């Protein structure tokens, strides 16, 4: 069972997922990520390129979005029609981001917008229904029949894998809720001129929660009341499992603890051995090492046990670190083909727990296991650390760490905090973090030592009251600057 812990109060939003108390996943969202995937806009067609059979759409950001003819719902009804027959320049059009902008290329868009739910996806202009391939054929046919009876006109329905555990009435309720939500969006933005953002689909909490079935989730803890209200409204069947907790002290892990874990190259295995993870621009390479020598009689069995344990841990680390693309694993050499198959089976079984799709291609001629994992976003080690500098946390990451540490004193009865901060980090902190929001929720005076040198990026030098602060040497000699 999954327990989800979501912290949105800091500038860097984060969430951890535990499985029976064991760390299973970390998700991070920063305000400058530029992650627009899933967002729905009322845009305007700027120009059409017949030679490309595509259009450029102004939907909000500076760069125009790219819309292929095949991403226009009407093209499903008549694939022979050209894009200039389906839309025209100056037309207002509902569009959804399917791929973020990269360098000089604008975001990729679809006009076949979707409203995602926990168990189904609603397509207001879809013209078709579909069911997860992981659902048995008999149930697939039943679900398709239900979708046909529910939908009107252009509407379409996609059934997620988790829908197989839901009753027909529960699914109908989910469909009606999404259908009503779309009607409200259309009504709210009917008279607004494009471009305008009509629906936002944040990674935290929405995209994260939807990756798990309702029955997989045991509890959700959030640190802000608006997140609790959002979850209750969008996922009413999770309302009883979601709780607002003003303090995060009781949570099993902190973001700072988990981030230190995900940048470590070496991960120890139970029973001995370790895996070493290295990420390059082209691929992820994982080496499996044996930790101790064993006698000849038990060597093959020991190698098999270590490799099976490594296979399970590799799948967990891919999920935790969000490593994707081409992945090569160098297991300890096994001569017995049956042992190789046991290791592959263990790997595939554990990968099934991953919401992100992967494919195990098997052993190569060099004895390496090759697999791929769908790329959804940058890996966590890449985002939070300098890989080329030996997995050192970036200044941006440290700035967010400092903000979280300050927030940890939010319920303290003391009214003054004195920090010792590296000047570069302090500059990054002011740029990245919402200082005004921090000030409004912390209710404390925060000072920075202006003439100190330290080996650490930052540390807390004093937490107390104003009276005792005035007796400290750094107050008397005027070494303090006010942060806020």
**Per-residue pLDDT tens digits for 112-161:** 999 999 899 999 999 899 999 889 999 999 999 999 999 999 999 999 98
The kind and range of the H/E element at 147 are: helix 137-150
Beta bridge partners of 460: 419
* Pair of tokens at residue 96: 């959804």
Task: Select from 171, 161, 158 the least CA-distant residue to 135.
Answer: 161
pLDDT at residue 341 is higher than 90: yes
On whether the CB atoms of residues 64 and 98 are closer than 8 A, the answer is no
On whether the CB atoms of residues 123 and 112 are closer than 8 A, the answer is yes
The DSSP line for 224-276 is: SHHHHHHHHHH-GGGGGGEEE-S--TTSS--HHHHHHHHT-SEEE-TTS-EEE
Torsion angle, alpha carbons of 214, 217, 219, 224, to 10: -70
Summarize the confidence of residues 354-361 as an average pLDDT: 91
What local confidence, expressed as pLDDT, does residue 390 receive? 62
Torsion angle, alpha carbons of 171, 174, 180, 186, to 10: -100
DSSP state for residue 332 in the 8-state scheme: P
In this prediction, what percent of the chain has a pLDDT beyond 70?
96
Summarize the confidence of residues 154-182 as an average pLDDT: 93
Distant-in-sequence, close-in-space partners of 59: CB < 8 Å, separation ≥ 6 = 41, 42, 43, 44, 65, 95, 97, 107, 109, 194, 195
Report how far residue 25's alpha carbon sits from residue 42's, in angstroms, rounded to the nearest whole number: 34
Top-ranked range on mean pLDDT: pick from 71-85, 93-107, 312-326, 369-383 = 312-326
Task: Select from 47, 39, 144, 136 the least CA-distant residue to 94.
Answer: 39
The class (CATH top level) of 263-380 is alpha beta
pLDDT at residue 476 is higher than 80: no
What local confidence, expressed as pLDDT, does residue 271 receive? 80
Cis preceding-peptide flag for 205 (omega within 30 of 0) = yes
Q: Kindly report which listed range (30-39, 330-339, 346-355, 359-368) carries the lowest average pLDDT score.
A: 30-39
HSE of 413, CA atoms in CB hemisphere, 13 A: 0
What local confidence, expressed as pLDDT, does residue 21 receive? 86
What local confidence, expressed as pLDDT, does residue 214 receive? 80
Spans of all domains in the chain: 2-33+216-253, 40-110, 115-199, 263-380, 394-482
Report how far residue 51's alpha carbon sits from residue 53's, in angstroms, rounded to the nearest whole number: 6
User: Residue 392 to residues 1, 104, 214, 217: CA-CA distances in angstroms?
Assistant: 33, 29, 37, 34
Task: Select from 387, 261, 374 the least CA-distant residue to 321.
Answer: 261
| CB neighbourhood size of 461 (10 A) | 18
Please, what's the largest Cα pairwise distance for the chain? 82
Distant-in-sequence, close-in-space partners of 429: CB < 8 Å, separation ≥ 6 = 399, 402, 403, 421
Q: Which CATH superfamily is domain 40-110 in?
A: Nucleic acid-binding proteins (2.40.50.140)
Strand, helix or coil for residue 323? coil
């Amino acid at each position: 069972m999954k327990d989800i812990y979501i912290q949105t109060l800091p500038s860097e939003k984060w969430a951890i997922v535990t499985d029976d108390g064991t760390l299973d996943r970390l998700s991070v969202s920063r305000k400058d990520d530029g992650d627009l995937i899933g967002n729905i806009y009322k845009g305007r067609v700027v120009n059409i390129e017949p030679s490309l059979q595509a259009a450029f759409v102004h939907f909000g950001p500076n760069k125009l979005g790219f819309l292929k003819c095949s991403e226009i719902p009407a093209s499903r009804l008549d694939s022979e029609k050209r894009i200039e027959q389906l839309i025209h320049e100056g037309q207002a059009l509902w569009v959804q981001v399917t791929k973020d902008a990269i360098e000089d290329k604008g975001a990729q868009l679809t006009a076949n917008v979707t409203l995602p739910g926990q168990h189904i996806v609603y397509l207001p202009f879809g013209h078709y229904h579909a069911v997860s391939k992981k659902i048995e054929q008999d149930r697939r046919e039943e679900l398709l029949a239900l979708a046909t009876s529910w939908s009107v006109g252009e509407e379409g329905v996609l059934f997620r894998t988790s829908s197989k555990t839901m009753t027909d009435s529960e699914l109908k309720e989910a469909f009606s809720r999404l259908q009503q939500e779309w009607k409200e969006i259309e009504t709210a933005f009917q008279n607004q001129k494009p471009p305008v953002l009509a629906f936002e689909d944040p990674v935290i909490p929405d995209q994260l929660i939807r990756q798990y079935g309702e029955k997989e989730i045991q509890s959700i803890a959030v640190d802000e009341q608006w997140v609790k209200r959002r979850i209750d409204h969008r996922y009413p069947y999770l309302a009883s499992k979601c709780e607002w907790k003003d303090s995060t002290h009781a949570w099993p892990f902190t973001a700072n603890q988990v981030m230190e874990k995900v940048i470590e190259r070496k991960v120890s295995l139970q029973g001995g051995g370790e895996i070493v993870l290295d990420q390059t621009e082209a691929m992820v390479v994982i080496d499996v090492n044996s930790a101790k020598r064993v006698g000849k009689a038990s060597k093959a069995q020991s190698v098999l046990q270590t490799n099976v344990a490594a296979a399970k841990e590799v799948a967990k680390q891919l999920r935790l670190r969000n490593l994707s693309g081409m992945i090569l694993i160098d297991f300890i050499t096994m001569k017995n083909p049956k042992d190789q198959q046991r290791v592959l089976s263990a790997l595939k079984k554990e990968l099934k727990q991953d919401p992100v799709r992967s494919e195990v291609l098997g052993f190569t001629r060099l004895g390496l296991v090759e697999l791929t994992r769908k790329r959804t976003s940058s890996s966590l080690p890449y985002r939070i650390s300098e890989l080329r500098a030996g997995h050192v946390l970036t200044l941006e990451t440290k700035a967010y760490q400092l903000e979280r540490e300050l927030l940890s004193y939010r319920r303290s009865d003391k009214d003054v905090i004195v920090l010792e901060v590296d000047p570069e980090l302090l500059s990054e902190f002011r740029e990245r973090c919402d200082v005004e929001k921090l000030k409004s929720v912390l209710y404390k005076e925060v000072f920075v030592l202006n003439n100190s040198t330290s080996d650490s990026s930052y540390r807390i030098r004093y937490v107390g009251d104003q009276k005792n602060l005035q007796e400290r040497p750094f107050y008397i000699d005027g070494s303090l600057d006010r942060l806020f």
